[in-house]
């Protein structure tokens, strides 16, 4: 039975190693580097301070996002780590804030190394933002700024573990601290799991570069320098020729005259027609009188 269990353990380890190797060979490295960023909703105990007077502790659930700018660090080369705080249960404003005030965030990042440089250090980056609009007492705070820390691995380190720890929210009026919240992780059970990130650390490259880029020779071309051209665009509106215009007076269509005739032309037409008819009737009458009478 012991041999069978041992064989199973060996087979399981071999299978796991095969999956990791296959991921590296197939270009699945980004899936394995997800440990360099972590987001967790963590319960914090926040103690309010108003004008230097300590208040009662209040529990808040805060969403903490810890991110690293690299997936693998390098000895003696700095990289950035950020802590973003958000959530719907953030502390309200204990004092009124104007747009001239500021909100400062100081976040602790615990750094734990291994190898010959095994040690635990803590950095506390800070960031600030001004309210876009006035905030009344008890109003919701705006989106909190994101502090950024620069971390440089020491010689002998092969791995770094970053952990987001405590943070402080300060409400400033100029250089005077009007109020603040000091938020800490609980120290009694049940202990929360804070946001953390793990990075591998590699040694810095010591191979000197032998490539030398020659300096470009100064140009002796006599090509004149082009001058700046100023383009002015002008739009001209073409006029319609008089010969192409068609004028139709009012009433032309209604009277049947059309064109340039109009109502006055109708009078002349009717008058001429009457004269022609009168002349015709008069001629017929004269003709009938001249006929000889038969007897």
Place of tokens 């049940």: 190
pLDDT at 173: 93
Contacts of 62 (CB under 8 A, 6+ apart): 41, 42, 43, 44, 85, 86, 87, 89, 90, 183
Q: Please name every residue paired with 170 in a beta bridge, in sequence order, or none if there are none.
A: 104, 180
Instruction: Look up residue 265 and give its two tokens.
Output: 């032309």
pLDDT at 59: 95
Give the CATH number of domain 34-187+195-201: 2.60.40
pLDDT at 181: 97
pLDDT at 89: 82
Q: What residue ranges of the chain have pLDDT lower than 50?
A: 1-34, 206-260, 294-295
Per the rule left: phi > 0, alpha: psi between -120 and 50, beta: everything else, 222 is alpha
**Backbone torsions φ then ψ of 21, nearest 5 degrees:** -60, -40
pTM: 0.58
**Could you write out the three-class secondary structure of the chain?**
CHHHHHHHHHHHHHHHHHHHHHHHHCCCHHHHHHHHEEEEEEEEEEEEEECCEECCCEEEEEEEEEEECCCEEECCECEEEEEEEECCCCCCCCCCECCCCEEEEEEEEEEEECHHHCCEEEECCEEEECCCCCECCCCCCCCCCCCEEEECCCCCCCEEEEEEEEEEEEEEECCEEEEEEEEECCCCCCCCCCCEEEEEEECCCCCCCCCCCCCCCCCCCCCCCCCCCCCCCCCCCCCCCHHHCCCCCCCHHHHCCCCCCHHHHHHHHHHHHHHHHHHHHHHHHHHHHCCCCCC
Nearest to 148 by CA among 89, 69, 87: 69
pLDDT at 8: 44
- Cα R_g (the chain), whole angstroms: 47
Whether the CB-CB separation of 129 and 100 falls below 8 Å is answered with no
Nearest to 141 by CA among 186, 104, 184, 177: 104
Q: What digits encode the pLDDT tens for the residues 30-56?
A: 333 346 899 999 999 999 999 889 999
Place of tokens 């007077």: 53
Whether the CB-CB separation of 197 and 67 falls below 8 Å is answered with yes
pLDDT at 80: 97
pLDDT at 118: 72
pLDDT at 16: 39
Contacts of 133 (CB under 8 A, 6+ apart): 99
């Amino acid at each position: 039975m012991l041999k069978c269990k041992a064989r199973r353990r060996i087979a399981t380890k071999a299978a796991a190693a095969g999956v990791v190797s296959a991921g590296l060979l197939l270009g699945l490295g980004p899936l394995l580097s997800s440990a360099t960023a972590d987001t967790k909703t963590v319960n914090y105990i926040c103690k309010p301070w108003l004008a230097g007077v300590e208040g009662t502790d209040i529990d808040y659930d805060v969403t903490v996002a810890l991110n690293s700018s690299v997936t693998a660090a390098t000895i003696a080369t700095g990289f950035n780590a950020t802590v973003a705080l958000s959530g719907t249960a953030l502390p309200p404003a204990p004092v009124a804030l104007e747009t001239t005030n500021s909100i400062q965030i100081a976040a602790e990042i615990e750094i734990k190394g291994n190898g010959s440089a095994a040690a635990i250090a803590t950095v506390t980056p800070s960031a600030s933002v001004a309210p876009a609009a006035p905030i009344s007492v008890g109003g919701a705070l705006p989106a909190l700024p994101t502090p950024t820390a620069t971390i440089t691995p020491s010689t002998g380190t092969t791995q770094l573990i970053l952990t987001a720890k405590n943070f402080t929210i300060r409400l400033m009026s100029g250089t005077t601290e009007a109020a603040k919240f000091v938020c800490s992780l609980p120290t009694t059970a049940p202990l929360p799991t804070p946001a953390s990130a793990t990075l591998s650390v590699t040694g810095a490259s010591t191979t000197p570069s032998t490539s030398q880029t020659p300096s470009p020779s100064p140009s002796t071309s006599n090509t004149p320098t082009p001058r700046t051209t100023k383009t002015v665009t002008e739009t001209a509106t073409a006029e319609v020729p008089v010969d192409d215009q068609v004028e139709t007076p009012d009433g032309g269509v209604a009277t049947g005259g059309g064109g340039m005739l109009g109502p006055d032309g109708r009078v002349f037409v009717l008058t001429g027609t009457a004269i022609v008819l009168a002349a015709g009737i008069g001629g017929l009458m004269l003709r009938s009188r001249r006929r000889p009478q038969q007897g």
